[in-house]
Amino acid sequence: MGVLENKSRARLFYKYLSKVYDQINPYIWNEEMRDDALELLGIQPDDRVLDVGCGTGFATEGLLRYSDDVHALDQSIHQMQKAFGKFGKNDEVRFYRGDAERLPFADNSFDVIWSSGSIEYWPNPVDALEEFRRVVKPGRRVLVVGPDYPESGLFQRVADAIMLFYDEHEAQRMFEEAGFVDIEHHIQQAYPGSPKAITTIARAPERDDADDEAAIEADT
């Protein structure tokens, strides 16, 4: 587990990173990448949308182009304060301070869940994805963006020491373990030579799908 896959260390890290986050972020995850990912989701104007790990509101801003019912959660108050300056504390967006692994929402609360630049800090990613499945409505989709695993052995060792990096195979495993279906992965990159992002879209099963899965497991 990387040094930043710890909630208290991640909060401390973002206390200082929040001061320059919006200046650094475009070199890794820029507007074009965000907008391409948003197009994949097919958000409707009346969808209730949750942004998990909203940070300074970079993705939140994009989500607001599609829906007026956007909710945003983060564990870092310093990051969220930057977002408050953009949208107001509870004007355009409803903000919550909370933990991806223990979402403070009822079952089936949202039509869409988005999370970018957050999974790499979760100590237990599958636990968080199971929470996503719990609070998203059956049949609806979630999108998660994280750092793609480097190809170089040296960079792999550095990546493993810092936080969670993962490839398509690991993403597939995590989403399947959390109970999602129709899982697809897209590799995105700001420019040649920059770090790659892995964007995964998956669907929460319909109730009939879940019943079929339970029946199959019971027969095996």
Task: Give 49-63 pLDDT, tens digit per residue.
Answer: 999 999 999 999 999
**Ranges 17-26, 42-51, 101-110: which has the least confidence:** 17-26
Residue 8 reports pLDDT greater than 70: no
Residue 20 backbone class (left: φ over 0; alpha: ψ -120 to 50; beta: rest): alpha
Domain boundaries, the chain: 28-217
Residue-wise pLDDT tens digits, 83-94 = 999 999 888 999
Write down the pTM of the prediction.
0.81
Return the pLDDT at 12: 46
Which two structure tokens, joined as six digits, stand for 186?
A: 């897209």
Distance from C-alpha of 18 to C-alpha of 36, rounded to nearest angstrom? 25
Is the CB of residue 17 less than 8 Å from the CB of residue 176? no
Confidence of residue 179 (pLDDT cuts 50, 70, 90): very high
Higher pLDDT, 65 or 217: 65
CATH code of 28-217, in short, is 3.40.50.150
Sequence-ordered list of residues with C-beta below 8 angstroms from that of 175, at least 6 positions apart, any chain: 129, 183, 200, 202
Which two structure tokens, joined as six digits, stand for 77?
A: 């108050």
